[in-house]
Structure 1
Amino acid sequence: MAMGSYSSDDGADDAMMSEINMTPLVDVMLVLLIIFIVTLPVLNHAVKLDLPQASSQPEDTKPAKIDLSIQADGSIFWDKQQIDDDTLKARLAQAAEVQPQPELHLFADKSVRYESVAKVLSEAQTAGVTKLGFVTEPAK
């Protein structure tokens, strides 16, 4: 039953007052809510298993870190030990085969020729090294 004020000042007796009755809408929503609350545990059926108990710690092996430095004159250092081009190729090939693959941190002097850096990057890619990072100093 709609509740509202009706005034018949204009003399028309057949005018109707139209309002939406919210009570049935609220009732339907509450019924749907109860249905969903009741049926949710039924929908979440799973196979009941008695699993064995075991304790294991995840293996937390961190990959090794290799510092590869290139000085301004183009000389290459592998972990602070100077090496030549052939030794670089051999060590990069060895590093690429190790699992997990070590991270190669490249320290290049700011005045080094780009040719030297490109050569080292090319050798690393040829050897199969995938984890490579450039190390810089923060700007002051």
Structure 2
Amino acid sequence: MAISMGGDPDQPMMEMNTTPLIDVMLCLLIMFIITIPPQTHAVKIDLPTPDNSPAPDIDPIKNKLTIDESNQLAWNGTPINLQQLGEYLAQTKQFPVEPELQFQPHPESDYLIVDRALKVIKEQNVTKLGFVGNEQYGRVF
């Protein structure tokens, strides 16, 4: 349905009408899309369900992390390692309100252990952290 602009109306049109060509191409494209088989291949795997219940020794209000003179970490009195500390801190994020973490290293504990524990605390984005027992050093300096 081309419209001739100007020229002699008695002369034949010199431009090719591309509208039918485009219509045919669109119909062929739709036919090809319809005939493509749907992707039905699937791999069925039974994935384990995560246990979202917090550990029984995590207090929803406050928890205490201590390091004794033999460099042993303890979570509310239970001995743990740095990996378990990260897991416990991750589980505290499940509570609606983040519980307070009280951190109390012994004066004779290694600085490296204290630093590693603080690194794990920082990696877990703990926002409620308090250092407990610093008042005993008030008169030392």
TM-score, with structure 1 as normaliser: 0.51
How far off its partner does 1:135 sit? 0.6
The number of residue pairs the alignment matches comes to 78
Indicate which of 103, 107, 114 corresponds to 2:104.
107
Matched residue, 2:94: 97
Indicate which of 59, 71, 74 corresponds to 1:74.
71
Matched residue, 1:87: 84
Whether the 8 Å CA contact 1:69–1:78 is kept in 2: the answer is yes
Partner SS, residue 130 of structure 1: coil
Whether the 8 Å CA contact 1:72–1:112 is kept in 2: the answer is yes
**CA deviation profile, 1:12-44 (whole Å, cap 9, x unmatched):** xxxxxxxxxxxxxxxxxxxxxxxxxxxxxxxxx
Higher mean alpha-carbon deviation, 81-90 vs 102-111, is at 81-90
Matched residue, 2:113: 116
Whether the 8 Å CA contact 1:96–1:128 is kept in 2: the answer is no
Q: Which one-letter code corresponds to 1:92 in the other structure?
A: L
Whether the 8 Å CA contact 1:95–1:129 is kept in 2: the answer is no
In 2: Cα distance, 1:98 partner to 1:121 partner? 21
In 2: Cα distance, 1:77 partner to 1:115 partner? 16
Structure 2 gaps of 5+ residues are 1-59
Q: 1:122 to 1:96 in 2, by over 3 A?
A: farther
In 2: Cα distance, 1:99 partner to 1:121 partner? 23
In 2: Cα distance, 1:86 partner to 1:110 partner? 23
Structure 1 gaps of 5+ residues are 1-62
User: Percent same amino acid among aligned pairs?
Assistant: 31
Whether the 8 Å CA contact 2:82–2:120 is kept in 1: the answer is no
TM-score, with structure 2 as normaliser: 0.51
